[in-house]
Amino acid sequence: MKMIEKDKWEWFGNAGHLIVSNRCRFHLTTKVGPWLISTVGEFVPHRDSKEFDTVGLDRLYETMVFVTKGECDCGCGLPEHDHDYMELEMKGYSTPKDANIGHLELCEKWAKIDYENGTKGMKL
Ligand SMILES: [Zn+2]
């Protein structure tokens, strides 16, 4: 089985998902072949917020995996999600350490999933 080697992964400084991602201080975005692995966290709801808010139910950080489809229209350089699909996988965390580890784990996991066969039988 063909795996997407690490030197073929593309890293982006932009936050890769979530409506309020422009207020997330933590973000990791990696394109691994056809997959976009996006982690966001440390959501600051207001400028004067003293604490980070959750990005989802009971989680301060989350990683989501999407199918990519071309480039984002706005010119930010990110790959566009295929909006016909929901996320393929989601993981939540409480600490930045766990979010960093979890992001890489999902990159490594999806690097081994072939686009043609990998999505068969998956709930997309
Ligand atoms: Zn964009």
- pLDDT by residue (tens digit) across 26-48? 999 999 999 999 999 999 999 88
Reported as a pLDDT band with limits 50, 70 and 90, residue 1 is: low
74 assigned to some structural domain: yes
Q: How many domains does the chain have?
A: 1
Q: 62 pairs with which residues across the strands?
A: 40, 92
Residue 124 in any domain: the answer is no
Residue 69 pLDDT > 70: yes
Is-contact 24 42, C-beta < 8 A? yes
- Kindly state whether residue 123 falls inside one of the protein's structural domains: no
- Rounded distance from Cα 121 to ligand 1 centre (Å): 30
pLDDT in tens, 83-117: 777 889 999 999 999 999 999 999 999 999 887 76
User: Is this prediction's pTM over 0.95?
Assistant: no
86 assigned to some structural domain: yes
Q: Judge whether 98 lies within some domain.
A: yes
Structural domain for 10, as ranges: 6-118
State which residues have CB under 5 angstroms from ligand 1, the bound ion: 72, 74, 76
Q: Is 68 part of a structural domain of the chain?
A: yes
**Calpha distance 36→71 (Å, rounded):** 12
